[in-house]
Structure 1
Amino acid sequence: MVGSMWVALGLSLACISALSLISPAWFQTPTFSFGVLTYCSWPQGNSWNQSCGIFRSLDDIPDFAWKVSAATLLGGWLLLAFNAILLLSWVLVPRGLCPRWGSGPTLGVEAAAAIATIVGLLVFPISLASPFSKEACGASSMYHGGQCQLGSGYVTAIFNAVLASLLPVIGWSHMTKVQGRTILFSSDTERIILVPEMSK
């Protein structure tokens, strides 16, 4: 039951991270918005008639800090996706063939994904000083949006980073409780008996 819930959380985080990455609404004005990988423009007062573009490679991204942010955010998403697939395989495969969910490797992958996402989110606003951002946002500078306002894509990515950083903490506390048991081997019955450690 707990493993299935953990898998659902992992898959949800990977999907939310993907949606925030492709969202063009990280910074926006009344006629233009841009995100890490996409940008859109529309006529004044007609946001339904949008024309959008995509940065197809790192070479197309207009600023070095933007490239670093895109690479780390993509790395964080790949780690979240790998973690979700790993957790899903542990739930679907019979118990004897794989180690339990929440073991060291998944917690390490979750922690690395959270760190990569947080670094990408902190680096991205540096790109507001780029010529591309200044043209879109007016008098923008590093960590100052000028005429651009924070959009839903950036807020979603922050929410995703907070949740991704909480998963390893919850997992480590669960592992600590499981490791707090003593395993006794009984040669008479050839069984393993789990006994909680007694507090001294």
Structure 2
Amino acid sequence: MGASVWAALELSLTCISALSLISPAWFQSPTFSFGVLTYCSWPQGDSWNQSCGTFGSLDDIPDFAWKTAAALLLGGWLLLAFNAILLLSWALAPKELCLRMGSGRTLGMQAAAVTTTVVGLLVFPISLASPFAKEACGTSSVYRSGQCQLGWGYVTAILNAVLASLLPVIRWPSVIQVRGRPIHFASDMEKITVMPEGSK
């Protein structure tokens, strides 16, 4: 696939990641829901009449594990966004200027973004033991949501992390053996390199 397809996929993942980060529906009860950066409450049985708030800074977030998860998830999103911008610039730049795109750098940045995001996703449920979460979810504790249910924001973030981790695997250059000669296919370079039989 061309660099433009990878850039489009990366931009899509970045937008989905941003949507899940600002979502207040990571954990939700019948009258309250909260996410990494936002929370909402509503009267019983009237979810259309919501009042929502935002944690303006890390200092406003009520628990240390929550702050750590927010910092990690924001860091992962920034790495993903920077990687998407880098891929987009390579896709739009003239081929003469980008004879060899730094696929190693983008793969490394993608791996760092996925790792940071996954660690943030694993740390966030520790905050279910915080007084804020206990007030919303009743008998919640570390990795136990009590009366709250898993919301679409958290599920979306997990799926996004899985898809982002698969992109580098799919993009990795492949080698095919043809009559004793290895042929290297690298989609970002858009050319085929045929190696002599004796070389490895």
TM over 0.5: yes
SS in structure 2 at match of 1:40: strand
CA distance change for structure 1 residues 32 and 125 in 2, over 3 Å: closer, same or farther? same
Q: Return 5+ residue gaps in structure 2 as ranges.
A: 177-181, 185-191
CA distance in 1, matches of 2:196, 2:78: 39
SS of 1:6's equivalent in the other structure is helix
Deviation at 1:76, TM superposition (A): 0.4
**1:169, CA displacement in angstroms?**
1.6
SS at match of 2:175: helix
* Change beyond 3 A, Cα 1:97–1:122: same
Distance 2:151 2:40 in 1: 13
Superposition map of 1:1-200 within 5 A:
2-101=2-101, 103-172=103-172, 174=173, 176-177=174-175, 181=183, 194-196=193-195, 198=197
> Aligned residues: percent identity?
75
**Aligned-residue offset at 1:177:** 3.3
8 A Cα contact 1:90 1:99, kept in partner: no
Q: Cα distance 1:62–1:197, how it changes in 2: closer, same or farther (>3 A)?
A: farther
Q: Does the 8 Å contact 1:90/1:100 carry over to 2?
A: no
Does the Cα contact within 8 Å between 2:4 and 2:92 map onto a contact in 1? no
**CA distance in structure 2 between the aligned counterparts of 1:4 and 1:169, rounded to whole angstroms:** 17
Structure 1 residue 5 displacement after superposition: 1.2
Runs of 4+ in 1 over 2 A off after TM superposition: 98-102, 196-200
Instruction: Report the alpha carbon displacement of residue 98 of structure 1 after superposing the two structures with TM.
Output: 2.3
Secondary structure of the 1:56 match is coil
Any stretches of 5+ residues in structure 1 without a counterpart?
183-192
What is the CA deviation profile of residues 105-152 of structure 1, one whole-angstrom value per residue up to 9, with x for unaligned ones?
Answer: 100110000001100000000000000000000000000000000000
1:26–1:171 Cα change, 3 Å: same
Residue 102 and residue 149 in structure 1: after superposition, are their counterparts in 2 closer, same or farther (change >3 A)? Answer: farther
Q: Is the 8 A contact 1:181 1:197 kept in 2?
A: no
Q: Is the Cα–Cα contact under 8 Å of residues 65 and 124 in structure 1 kept in the other structure? A: yes
Aligned partner letter, 2:105: P
Q: What's the RMSD between the two structures over aligned residues? A: 2.0
Q: 1:3·1:101 contact (CA, 8 Å) conserved in 2?
A: no
- Normalising by structure 1, we get a TM-score of 0.88
Assess if the C-alpha contact under 8 Å between 1:61 and 1:67 holds in 2.
Answer: yes
Distance in 2, Cα, partners of 1:41 & 1:67: 21
Report the CA distance between 1:167 and its aligned residue: 1.3
Q: Within 2, Cα distance between the matches of 1:89 and 1:60?
A: 36
Aligned residues: 187
Q: 1:99 to 1:56 in 2, by over 3 A?
A: farther
